[in-house]
Amino acid sequence: MSNQGNNAAVDYDVVVIGAGFGGMYMLYKLRELGFSARAFEVADDVGGTWYWNRYPGARCDVESVEYSYSFDPQLQQDWVWTERYAAQPEILRYAQHVADRFDLRRDISFTTRVEEAQFDDATATWTVRTGGTDERTVRSRFLVSAVGCLSSANWPNIPGRESFAGDTYHTGQWPHHEVDFTGKVVGVIGTGSSGIQSIPIIARQAEHLYVFQRTPNYTVPAHNRPLTPDELADVKARYDAIREKNRTLSGGFGAQYERGEIGAMEVPDDVRDAEYEKRWQIGGFNLLGGYTDIILSKESNETAAQFVRRKIGEIVHDPAVAAALTPDHVIGCKRLCIDTGYYETFNRPNVTLVDIHDTGIDEITPSGVRAGGTDYALDALVFATGFDAMTGSLLKMDIRGPEVSLREAWAAGPRTYLGLGVHGIPNFFVITGPGSPSVLTNMIMSIEQHVEWIGDCLVAMRDGGHARIEATEPAQDQWVDYVNMVASMTLFPTCNSWYLGANVPGKTRVFMPLPGLPPYREQCDAVAANGYEGFALA
Ligand code: NA7
């Protein structure tokens, strides 16, 4: 056990909560730096979001060669991605491979939930109580949350929800066995990314599919395809340069594609449309990369939005259905979806779009869904209703500092310094927490940056003989103001997205992620270089 400037007896230097991509790399890093650590994970295996989200069509919207760890050069050379956008089973296999390769499982307690953690100021230690298979109370010097941003399923409070007699599913808590909808009448509630990915596949199986849509969404074709050995070899030969380039990009991905350097209104309409068409054919987030101001200027944004609206009209045969599928909000303000055959699915005779924008769902009954006064009889009902994002899983645990709990500190919305630390909760770090770029980026790149920053911080504390670190209130206040200021310069806060907490009734509306990875990385590095400025070390 290392000496952290503190002689209190502990079981571990660090307790890590969660064994998804954040928790796994944190564990690896802590071991490498000579700290003892234990991770507690609710699931019975690693993988985090990719363990839970097993719904048909679940696929990452960042390309596989980029949505992968960069910390180990041999790992990225050895692993063979088979598709441009990896599907959930392949990403889960990758997570399992990483766990085996670095022998991580011996320090992870699976099917074990962190219930509560209390910081004791006298000894500068955490007392952590767990429940489940490895139920016990352990002491550690530090607590690191790697619970993920999209891990707390949002089950909407629709009257009668529990009364449905057929099979009920949530995309974020999908069963481990194969679900076959053949011959069934199925309802899907929700048209975010999970709905948009699963609907085309469920439609191919079901006798009939009803899609209950509250808000239409923009989605762009993935043009997913197998990766050829030559393509992979080319990426692997240039991997370091690709990763380096990604570190300079706002979202931390897309190194292989050209990015525009001027605003959308600086070119004539036909040039702009040709640019959008070219990018639509490439597929994915690319669509929004042609101009610098799509998420900054309403006028520029409208040109991209109009382009996708036109596409919907061209793809969907029935004009009334096309109109109902056409969004009117800012494009990219909710996370853009990436699909395979989504709009085309509404041309199928066995698919009905039920527009519940004005009516909502009246009730769920034993036999199905009643919406707008009409009863839809169903054999199975899929909730693709998303997550209590970014704060849900953190606040499920009772994390208590000396004088204030995390729930109290965040009662009016999450407040952090750098998204990493919370005033009032010492020796506690959050990987990809609110107030950091996190969900606006390639998550694995953001995870690596946070884990490495936390690792460096713990080493600096060890070297300096410090036992306690806490974000100061003024630094946190300034950071919150800064995140709000940056967000307000963009169009992100203009629609009801989960970035704002708007999808969960009663949740405080705060724009939680910080746009722009490269300046953020510089700010984190400067804080470290200046002796962890904004944190009080003792
Ligand atoms: P999202 O993007 O939050 O989508 C959830 C969908 O469920 C969305 O269409 C919601 O409509 C709808 N919803 C939520 N509650 C209700 C109720 N009560 N009634 C009807 N419809 C409802 O979650 P996803 O899982 O699809 O995707 C989350 C992220 O995962 C995604 O952005 C990617 O980053 C990966 P709304 O738009 O709120 O009107």
- The domains of the chain are located at 12-152+388-537, 214-370
CA of residue 192 to ligand 1 center, whole Å: 4
The predicted-structure confidence for 121-144, as pLDDT tens digits, reads as follows 999 999 999 999 999 999 999 999
Residues 295, 518: Cα–Cα separation, whole Å: 17
The band of 8, judged by pLDDT with boundaries at 50, 70 and 90, is confident
DSSP collapsed to 3 states, 333-394: CCCCEEECCHHHHCCCCCEEEEECCCCCEEEEECCEEEECCEEEECCEEEECCCECCCCHHH
Q: How many CB atoms lie within 10 A of CB 335?
A: 17
Residue with tokens 């169903």: 378
Residue nearest to atom 28 of ligand 1 (CA): 386
CA of residue 497 to ligand 1 center, whole Å: 8
Question: Which residue type sits at 419?
Answer: G
Residues 209, 216: Cα–Cα separation, whole Å: 17
- Predicted local distance difference test score (pLDDT) of residue 4: 56
The predicted-structure confidence for 386-419, as pLDDT tens digits, reads as follows 999 999 999 999 999 999 999 999 999 999 999 9
Q: Which two three-digit tokens encode residue 473?
A: 């209130």
- Residue length of the chain: 538
Atom of ligand 1 nearest to the CA of 157: 18
Residues 267, 261: Cα–Cα separation, whole Å: 12
- Predicted local distance difference test score (pLDDT) of residue 1: 44
The predicted-structure confidence for 57-71, as pLDDT tens digits, reads as follows 999 999 999 999 999
Give me the sign of the Cα torsion angle 384, 150, 507, 500: negative
Residue nearest to atom 20 of ligand 1 (CA): 214
Residues 314, 311: Cα–Cα separation, whole Å: 5
CA of residue 384 to ligand 1 center, whole Å: 6
Classify strands 185-189 and 469-471 as parallel, antiparallel or unpaired.
unpaired
The predicted-structure confidence for 217-257, as pLDDT tens digits, reads as follows 999 999 999 999 999 999 999 999 999 999 999 999 999 99
What are the C-alpha distances in Å from 297 to residues 1, 303, 365? 54, 10, 45
CA of residue 191 to ligand 1 center, whole Å: 6
The predicted-structure confidence for 174-219, as pLDDT tens digits, reads as follows 999 999 999 999 999 999 999 999 999 999 999 999 999 999 999 9
CA of residue 431 to ligand 1 center, whole Å: 24
Residues 249, 441: Cα–Cα separation, whole Å: 9
Residue nearest to atom 18 of ligand 1 (CA): 156
Mean pLDDT, residues 290-294 taken together:
97
Tell me which residue of 109, 130, 105, 128 sits closest to 118, measured CA to CA. Answer: 128
Considering the chain, what is the average pLDDT of its residues?
A: 97
∠ CA 268-269-272, rounded to 5°: 90
Atom of ligand 1 nearest to the CA of 190: 7
Mean pLDDT, residues 436-440 taken together:
97
- Predicted local distance difference test score (pLDDT) of residue 5: 62
The predicted-structure confidence for 254-284, as pLDDT tens digits, reads as follows 999 999 999 999 999 999 999 999 999 999 9
Yes or no: say if 490 and 472 are a contact pair by the CB < 8 Å rule: no
Q: Which two three-digit tokens encode residue 435?
A: 């107030």
Residues 35, 1: Cα–Cα separation, whole Å: 7
CA of residue 369 to ligand 1 center, whole Å: 18
Packing angle, helices 239-247 and 517-529, rounded to 10: 80
Residues 91, 47: Cα–Cα separation, whole Å: 8
Classify strands 12-17 and 37-40 as parallel, antiparallel or unpaired.
parallel
Residue nearest to atom 33 of ligand 1 (CA): 193
- Predicted local distance difference test score (pLDDT) of residue 211: 99
CA of residue 123 to ligand 1 center, whole Å: 44
CA of residue 217 to ligand 1 center, whole Å: 10
The band of 7, judged by pLDDT with boundaries at 50, 70 and 90, is confident
Ligand 1: lining residues by beta carbon, under 6 Å: 150, 156, 158, 171, 189-195, 214-215, 335, 361, 384-387, 496, 498, 503
Q: What is the CATH number of domain 12-152+388-537?
A: 3.50.50.60
Residue nearest to atom 14 of ligand 1 (CA): 385
